[in-house]
Structure formats: structure tokens, C-alpha cells
Amino acid sequence: MSTFILIFLIFNFFYMIKIKSYEKVNPRDLNAPRKHYAQYVVTDKVDFAELTEIIAESSTLMPEDITGVLIALERNIIRALHNGRIVQLGSIGSLRLSIRAEGKDTPEEVSALDVRKAKVNYYAGKGISKMLKNLTFRKIDSAA
């Protein structure tokens, strides 16, 4: 086996997305046999402070500068969404508001009081979409 292939296999082993099996009941037929599905295993999280440090290490900016930029980004995303705008974040993707509302029989009956919930939808951009298409998965023991 060539060194390149060995390095490639080792790299892919460590960067595979871990999955495990989980059993699920059919909510429409509680008596139906349960099915088993693959479930993504969360291994850790990156919090705001760590993300700030990671960005600072790969740039000429200080962590405090990165913190200021990220706080300003959050404020401006909120402002744009509040004003009914879609927020485009380059190859990261875009954010937009969506609402859930009670249905009415006629257009005249529809009012702002019918809105039950608002949420932010994320749509992956080219960079994230490319990553999603190239993921590899590795099943681990469900007890892990």
C-alpha cells in the first residue's frame, strides 16, 4: 500500500462523521415494528470564545477585535432580519425569517394576530454545501 493511500485512509478515519443506531416508533402506528435509523453523534462544540481564538490564530487580528466583529455581525444580522431582509453570508449561506400562522378562509380574515411563531431558516451556501456532499460516515457502537 502506498504511503499516500495510507495517509488518506488514516485522515478519512479521523474525519469521518460518527453515527450510531437508534430505534424509533412509528407515531402513526404505535403497533408497527420499530425501525432503526442512523443518528449523528455530536462529539463536542465550539463556543464563541474558542471560535474567536481560532479565527485570531489564523489572522493578524487580536481576539478582542474578532469578538467585536462577531458581536457587530450578530447585531446587523438581527437588524436585517427584523427589517424583512435575507442575510447572505457568502459561501457560508443565507438566513431568512419564516413564520407559522393560522389558516383563514378568506384573505380579509388574515391578520397579524394569526402569526403563531417566527423562526430563522438557514440555507447552506456553496462552501457548506460542498462540505455536506463530501462527508463520510463511520458507525460506532451505540453504547459509546
Compute the mean pLDDT over every residue in the chain, rounded to the nearest whole number.
88
pLDDT over threshold 90, residue 2: no
Q: Confidence class of residue 6 from pLDDT cuts 50, 70 and 90?
A: very low
Query: Which is it for the CA torsion 76, 77, 82, 88, positive or negative?
Result: positive
pTM for this model (two decimals) = 0.73
Q: Are 73 and 48 in contact (CB under 8 A)?
A: no
The two beta strands, 35-40 and 137-139, are: unpaired
Nearest Cα neighbor of 124 from 114, 132, 115, 116 is 132
pLDDT > 90? residue 115:
yes
The pLDDT of residue 9: 47
